[in-house]
Structures are given as C-alpha cells and as structure tokens.
C-alpha cells in the first residue's frame, strides 16, 4: 500500500524538523554557508581563517604566507619627504647643467632644422616639376654650397690683398716717421727707438703670435661649425616628412588631422619667411653692388655681400651693414662715403615701405609690434640666431593661439 501524500504531520515531527533547521548553518544567496555569530556565554567564536594552499588531492599544505600577514606601510615622515625633495632638486640642477653645457649643440640643431624648413618650399617647387625628392634636395643643396663658395671667393681675396699691402707698407711708414725732424730730436733726447724695439720684441710679438693662434682656432671652429650645419641641414631636409609623420603619431588619433594641418601651416610660414628674407637680402646686395660699382668703390662685390648678409638680421641688420660699408667708403674718399650714406638712407626707406611688405605678405602674419618685441627677446636670449628665429616662432605661437586657445575659450 502506498502512503498518502496528504497525510498530516504530527506536532512532534514538526518540532523536530524546526530544531534540525535551526542547528544547521545558514546559507547566503550563493549557497555558501555563513559563519555563525560568536557565542554570548563567554565561549570563543570561530577562529580566523589563515590563507593556505591546496595540493592536487585537495589537502591543505603549508601556509601561503609563512611569515604572517604584512603590516601597514611605513609612514612618510619628514626625513623621507626631505630626501625625495633633495633628490628632485639635484636632478633639476643636473638637467640645467646638461642644457647649459650643450647649448651650442642645441642651437646648431635648431638652426639646421630652421634652415631645412626654409629650404623645403624650394625642394617641393622642384618636385612639382616632376623631379624626384632626392634630385630636388641635391639641386637645392648644391645651390647653397655655390653661394657659400662665391661668398668666400668675394671676401677672402680682398681681405688678403689689403692685409698684404698694409704689411708691405709698414716699413715705408716707419721711414717716413723717422724722416721727421721732431721725431728724430725726441729719439735723441729720450731714446724712443730702443724702447719701441724692446716693446715690439718682448710684448707685442708674443701677443700677436697668441692672437694669430687664437684667430686660427676661431677660423677652424667656424669652418667645422659651418660644415656640421650643412650636414645637419641636409639630413633634416631629406627626412623632414618622416620626422613629421613620427611626431604626429605621438598625438591622439582624434586630433592628428587638425595637428597635421596646423603643422603644415607653420612650416609653410617658416619657409615663406626664410625665402622672403633671402629674396630681400639678394635685392639689397644686387642694388648695393650696382651702386658701388657705378660710384667707383673698391671691392664693390665684397661690400655688397656684407650688405646682403647683414640684411638678414631683423630690425638692425640693414643699419649695421650700411654703417660698415659707408665707413669703408669714407676711408677711400669723403665724397664716396657721403654718397654711400645717402644711398643707404634712401634704400632703407624703400625696403621698409615697399619691398618688405610685398615680399612678406604671404609668409608670416604677425603684428609689427609683436615682430619688434619678438626680435628684441630673441636677440637678448640667443643673439643674432635668436633674432633670426624670433619672428617665425612668434608667427607659430600666434597661429596656435588663434586656432587652439581662442576657440577653446569661446566654448568655455
């Protein structure tokens, strides 16, 4: 016979079932047994579990933390704070010394990159004529080398000839002085010739020898710096696109397109500034050479190259060149010096108000006051190099402010 499922449960059986459920450990929603509360009658509660590992059979082995539980970390006291701060100060001083000692190399690299960015538009112009980039770079670099060679050929022979003529004329000057009766009487009374000979042999000759050695070292250092600058410029010009692509990879992907456009505009501005500045200097040199040739000045080509080089310096370069050339012209004849002074005074007005605005209108967009301030700061920091780099750097900063900072402030 089968038992009836609806058979009533006796009260005794229900009580026993409740006692068994009360004695069993409680389970949470995940089905794991919960720890029972500690006993209230002074008895010890369940002991705290110690982390342990199990072997393959499931048995317990030695504790996973044989040296006990780790304690709290050491407190950061004033000694530790001072030690870390001192190490930071020493690191900053070391970095400052490193930058100071390698400042000449940093300036050389910056100038090479600046010249490479300035020559890049000429390379791209040749590329648009269906030339390979390597061929275009070779032609532009060859043009730069030819300019340096022509400058050397125009400057070195006149300087060498003038120096040789002066050295050859020194004995004649000395004989003319000795033929003067007054000087002969002074020599007889005060023994000027022996004192002059002693001064020349004991003081002047060693000083001149040291000066010649120093001048030779300066010339060698200048040649080495020039060659290094040309080599760096060639490398930067050849790898300009790869450098831009590598630096753009450091920018977040969402901003790469905008950053690339701003970078291209900055490089175009630098290239336009360099090309425009060189064009203005060439115009100044050609017009000066034509005037000096017509006026009958000696070494007209060398003086015109001095004008062209100094005209590259912003603000004061044209004035410096005009003063130097006018001074040399005054040594040749007073009327020639006056004519040079008048010519350069008139030409500077023409350059400032007609040539410069027309050439530079598409290169850099900088206010005149900002141009003057940037050139002054650049000249104070890095001399002539700083003055040359100041205007395109100011243009780049103005572009970043206009395209990045101002729109962000407008949205805030």
3-state SS, residue 39: coil
One digit per residue, pLDDT tens: the chain, 412 residues? 444 444 444 444 544 555 555 444 444 444 444 444 444 444 444 444 444 455 444 544 445 567 777 767 666 677 778 888 889 899 999 999 988 888 888 888 888 888 888 888 888 888 888 888 889 888 988 888 888 788 777 777 776 776 677 667 667 766 776 677 777 777 777 777 677 767 766 676 566 556 556 666 666 777 788 888 888 888 888 888 888 888 888 888 888 888 888 888 888 878 788 888 888 888 999 999 999 999 988 888 888 888 988 888 877 788 888 998 998 888 888 899 999 999 999 998 888 888 887 777 666 666 777 777 887 888 787 777 787 788 888 888 888 888 888 888 888 7
Q: 289 Cβ partners below 8 Å, 6+ apart? A: 300, 301, 303, 304
Question: How far apart are the C-alpha atoms of 22 and 132, rounded to whole Å?
Answer: 92
Distances (CA, A) of 201 to 172, 194, 198, 311: 20, 11, 5, 43
Dihedral, CA of residue 127, residue 130, residue 135 and residue 136, to nearest 10? -20
Instruction: Quickly list DSSP for 287-350.
Output: HHHHHHHHHT-TTHHHHHHHHHHHTTSTTTHHHHHHHHHHHHHHHH-HHHHHHHHHHHHHHHHH
Distances (CA, A) of 195 to 170, 190, 191, 198: 18, 9, 7, 5
DSSP H or E stretch at residue 54: strand 52-54
pTM score of the predicted model: 0.61
Reading the block at residue 20, the tokens are: 């068994």
Q: Domain spans of the chain?
A: 100-250, 265-412
Reading the block at residue 301, the tokens are: 């080509």
35 burial type by CB count under 10 A (0-12 exposed, 13-18 middle, 19+ buried): exposed
């Amino acid at each position: 016979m089968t038992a009836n499922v609806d058979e009533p449960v006796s009260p005794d059986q229900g009580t026993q079932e409740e006692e068994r459920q009360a004695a069993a450990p409680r389970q949470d929603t995940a089905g794991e047994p919960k720890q029972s509360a500690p006993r209230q009658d002074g008895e010890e509660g369940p002991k705290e579990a110690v982390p342990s590992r199990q072997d393959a059979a499931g048995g317990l082995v030695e504790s996973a933390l044989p040296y006990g539980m780790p304690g709290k970390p050491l407190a950061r006291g004033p000694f530790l704070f001072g030690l870390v701060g001192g190490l930071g100060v020493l690191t900053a001083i070391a970095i400052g010394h490193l930058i100071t000692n390698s400042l000449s190399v940093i300036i050389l690299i910056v100038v090479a990159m600046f010249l490479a960015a300035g020559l890049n538009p000429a390379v791209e112009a040749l590329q648009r004529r269906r030339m390979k980039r390597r061929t275009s770079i070779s032609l532009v670099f060859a043009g730069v080398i030819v300019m340096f060679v022509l400058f050397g050929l125009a400057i070195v022979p006149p300087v060498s000839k003038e120096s040789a003529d002066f050295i050859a004329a020194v004995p004649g000057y000395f004989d003319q002085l000795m033929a003067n009766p007054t000087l002969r009487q002074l020599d007889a009374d005060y023994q000027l010739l022996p004192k002059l000979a002693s001064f020349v042999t004991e003081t002047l000759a060693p000083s001149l020898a040291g000066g010649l050695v120093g001048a030779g070292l300066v010339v060698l250092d200048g040649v080495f710096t020039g060659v290094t600058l040309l080599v760096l410029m060639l490398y930067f010009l050849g790898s300009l696109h790869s450098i831009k692509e590598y630096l753009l990879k450091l920018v977040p992907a969402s901003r790469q397109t905008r950053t690339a456009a701003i970078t291209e505009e900055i490089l175009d501005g630098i290239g336009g500034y360099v090309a425009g500045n060189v064009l203005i200097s060439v115009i100044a040199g050609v017009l000066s050479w034509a005037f000096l040739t017509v006026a009958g000045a000696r070494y007209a080509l060398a003086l015109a190259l001095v004008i062209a080089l100094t005209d590259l310096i912003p603000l004061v370069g044209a004035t410096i060149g005009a003063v130097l050339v006018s001074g040399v012209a005054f040594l040749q004849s007073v009327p020639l010096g006056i004519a040079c002074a008048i010519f350069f005074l008139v030409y500077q007005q023409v350059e400032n108000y007609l040539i410069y605005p027309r050439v530079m209108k598409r290169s850099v967009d900088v206010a005149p006051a900002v141009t003057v301030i940037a050139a002054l700061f650049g000249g104070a920091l890095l001399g002539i190099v700083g003055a040359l780099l100041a205007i395109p750097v100011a243009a780049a900063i103005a572009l970043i402010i206009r395209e990045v900072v101002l729109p962000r402030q407008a949205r805030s």
